A = this chain, B = another copy of it.
Amino acid sequence: MGTELAALKKSADIQRMFKEFGIKPIEEIADLFPNKTLIDIGLLIAHRDFDHLLRGLAQGKKFAIVSGRGPSGPLHLGHILLFSLVKHLQDIFNAEVFIPISDDEKFIFGKVPKLEDAEKWAYDNIRYIAALGFDPNKTHIYISSKTTWVYRYALKCARKMTISMIKSALGTTDSHNPGILFYAAVQIAHILQPTFDYNLPVVVPIGLDQDVFMRLARDVAQLLHVMKPASLYVQFLPGPRGEPMSSSKPETALFVNADSKQAWRIIANLFTGGQGSIREQFLKGGNPDVCHVFLWLKHLFFKNKGEIEVYAEMCRSGELICGLDCKPLLHELVMDFLARLRDAAEKVNIEKFLRDSH
């Protein structure tokens, strides 16, 4: 785990959040994973109740992963990393995967002028997600506003909620539109659908800063007398400023349709653990623990702890120079990955994934 992340997890705020909301470090349940790669590379930080799902699995009880996407533009590598994680979890735990594509969310929050614009992006995004290799027999992708059941389940959830409850959780005010409030119920409907329709317990991979949605979903689940969804807290891929990549801030994100130059502009501006000069770095070595180029390599491309350690050691020993070795390597790996992904996205048959899209 990087020192930054360690610092984050040690911070008083996070400690309090963990304690108050029943979140636990992922290391506590590392033994329940068939291998510890996801934990070793620092992609999974923490969880709530995921141990219950893994213990159920050991007794033959399947579970579902719900991980959505609001379609207002192309996917970026942060999304790809998240969905790759979901695919990996599907593989190792034989999990059913549910992927709501929330065109309704993007429209109601004003991120696209028309609902149809979000729909157009939905199909683009679905192609890229499906291209990551999900098992079509265990993966359910749907466009939220194009089903009949999302609205019906959202009504069911909404009836157990109050306007105050949403306002205090999300900070909505009376000058917002009423669809924004209702969307809180829609999102909970997405999360609870595998439980409603297939009687499966659910886990949602999410950022720690988004946990308020999970707590709301758990409150509603309890009021509806169904299983509360578990969560897996994920480390997001940092963009050039160190903050998570965001579609609405294109300067922070490396999109799947980026050309070589655009990709280089993002990668060249990532934080590194390098020294002030090449000479100094040869002499003193770099610090991979605070380096975002190293973090990207680890999360996106390295396959095991050994490979990671070897690379980190080369950095520390001064063998690697950020701008001459690591960034060009990352750029090459990214461009190669994207070329293959775009090719797969073009060829994938998305119909097989759209079973619940009605």
Contact = CB atoms under 8 A, between A and B. Distances in A.
A349 interface: no
Contact of A177 (B145, B162, B167, B172): B162
- A152, A179, A185 interface centre (most CB from chain B within 10 Å): A179
A115 B314 CA distance: 63
Nearest to A176: B163
Interface stretch (A16-24, A29-37, A46-54, A102-110): A102-110
Contacts of A159: 107-108, 110, 177, 179
Interface string A154-182: 11101111111011000011111111011
A253 interface: no
A166 to B, nearest CB: 6
Contacts of A178: 158, 161-163, 166, 178, 181-182, 184-185
Given A115-B156, A148-B148, A161 B185 contact: no
A150 to B, nearest CB: 7
A60 to B, nearest CB: 31
A179 B185 contact: yes
A163 B152 contact: no
A126 to B, nearest CB: 18
Contacts of A173: 163
A110 B150 CA distance: 19
Contacts of A213: none
A260 interface: no
Given A115-B152, A167-B174, A158 B179 contact: yes
Interface residues of A, number: 36
A108 B164 contact: no
B155 A104 contact: yes
A147 B152 CA distance: 10
Contacts of A108: 155, 158-159
Contacts of A163: 163, 172-178, 181
Nearest to A144: B151
Contact of A175 (B150, B156, B164, B182): B164
A20 to B, nearest CB: 24
A146 interface: yes
Contacts of A152: 115, 145-146
A177 B161 contact: yes
Interface string A197-224: 0000000000000000000000000000
Given A145-B152, A151-B150, A182-B179, A164 B158 contact: no
- A115, A146, A155, A175 interface centre (most CB from chain B within 10 Å): A155
A158 B179 CA distance: 5
Contacts of A110: 159
Given A115-B156, A163-B177, 16 more contacts: A104-B155, A110-B159, A145-B148, A145-B151, A146-B148, A154-B179, A155-B179, A162-B174, A162-B178, A163-B174, A163-B178, A164-B175, A167-B174, A178-B178, A179-B182, A182-B182
What 8 pairs across the A-B complex have the smallest Cβ distances? A158-B179, A182-B182, A151-B151, A178-B181, A164-B174, A163-B174, A145-B152, A178-B182
